[in-house]
Amino acid sequence: MDFEIVNGNVATLDTECLVIGVAADAALTPSATAINSAAQGYLSDLVAAGDIKGKTGETLLLQRLNGVSAKRILVVGLGKADERHDRSYKKVIKAILSQVKALNLKEITIALDGEASDQADTYRQTRLLVETATAELYQYDATKSKKADPYAIEKFAIHLSEDDTEEGEGALVDGAAIANGMNTARELGNLPGNICTPTYLADQAKELANEYDSVTCEVLDEDAMRQLGMNCLLSVGNGSEQPSQLIIIKHNGGEEGDKPHVLVGKGITFDTGGISLKPGAKMDEMKFDMCGAASVMGAMTAIAEMDLPINIYGVIAAAENMPSGHATKPGDIVTTLSGQTVEILNTDAEGRLVLCDTLTYVERFEPASVVDIATLTGACIVALGHVPSGVMTNDEDLAQELSVAGDYASDRVWRLPLWDDYQELLDSNFADIANIGGPAAGTITAGCFLSRFTKAYRWAHIDIAGTAWNSAGKAKGATGRCVPLLAQYMLNQAADVIDDE
């Protein structure tokens, strides 16, 4: 689907369907006013008659209005002015896309005049529209014998004033890149564990490097990791027939020698819990336990497509957690790459085990910042539900940068404490540290565990257990979060570099 910016009088635009807005107080937007004038008051008569009340996401389809070039007019409710925010804006976009699908439209023009959101930012509104519309048109059929019929929509036009066109066109470029990254993350997350193995993830990273000149890829196999001393990561895959992989993707968009920003992804391609076996119910959803890795792959895809002028590395710790005679047992003690020893009290707390060695590994890059992303704890869902991702960090500025990026990208995070008071919960009688801290503050103690391996650089941990996938009905599947957050964080870092030049 192609996105484009169009200008001019909306009444004379030749389009299959023109979308205009009506507020809950019956106020017409500027474009709706122009259509109403061309149609000799037809819209205002409909509003007065109560045919459309302007509730958020409410729609009314009109055919061939006199004085209007568009074949159809779709009137969409924008709601009350004080209730317009990202959630309602997305609801409006989804209502529009529902009509696009139902009418089998090939092209559509959106003319909402910036009034569907409380954020008066043309770039942001346009980019969010592109990302949300693309997400609504995503269909998973990779493992189905009958492929999904593609939607007819080919052109998605957004009406802006000439003064806003340049900003809007920039939003189309970035929005399309981020949307592609989200689709990459969703596709990887939705694939079953018998297809999306650690080796498959490595192959996808190599394909990304082949596609973009700025990207290179290196994969460390188990022998290489063993020689380095990454015993904690390797312990997770001991019970599996699938070899573990450490995948390093480098986008070299900045100057040689510039410190890179590093994204680290948890890539547990299937998580049975190992010897600490999970209950059977909903275990199928543990194919989503690599969504941290999928987020990194998606973000690196978007970063490469936008060709950001900074160095950004994506590092994925990929393993499969299975029970077998070779599997790590509760009570086993392993020595990490950092030299610290870990008593593995529960083999189902495996994400932190692959991450801790990876976080030590990335020290060699002397990073400007490190952000790890993981479906780490069910406790995060208890704490925050499915709205924000949880974030913990050892750096106040980084906490603020991620919060600002999340708010702007409509992919929010909420900070949890990383206080020393929680560290004692990880005490072990037999090793330097235990891999679990008991039932209390599970998300925080997981962050505390990781913090012991991140003292050399600015670091943040993002727990996406509650945001990486939906479990309900037809909506079941990977969401693509937190690709928008990561992309925006890197866009902001790139902007800082440009400003300094």
So which residues are the catalytic ones? 278, 352
Residue 395, token pair as written in the block: 């750096």
Structure-token match 């924008």, residue found: 78
Structure-token match 């993707």, residue found: 249
Residue 228, token pair as written in the block: 């380095």
Whether 463 contacts 415, CB under 8 Å: no
Q: Which residues of 126-150 are buried (b: 16+ CB within 10 A; e: fewer)?
A: bbbbbbbbbbbbbebeeeeeeeeee
Residue 317, token pair as written in the block: 């710790």
Residue 386 and residue 322: Cα distance in Å, rounded?
27
Amino acid at 329: K
> H/E element holding 267?
strand 261-271
Residue 255, token pair as written in the block: 């100057």
Q: CA 496, 498, 501: angle at the middle one, nearest 5?
A: 110
For the sheet containing 59-63, what is the strand order? 2-6, 155-159, 107-110, 18-23, 72-79, 59-63
CA distances from 231 to 104, 337, 362, 434, 452 (A): 54, 7, 16, 15, 16
Coil, helix or strand for 157? Answer: strand
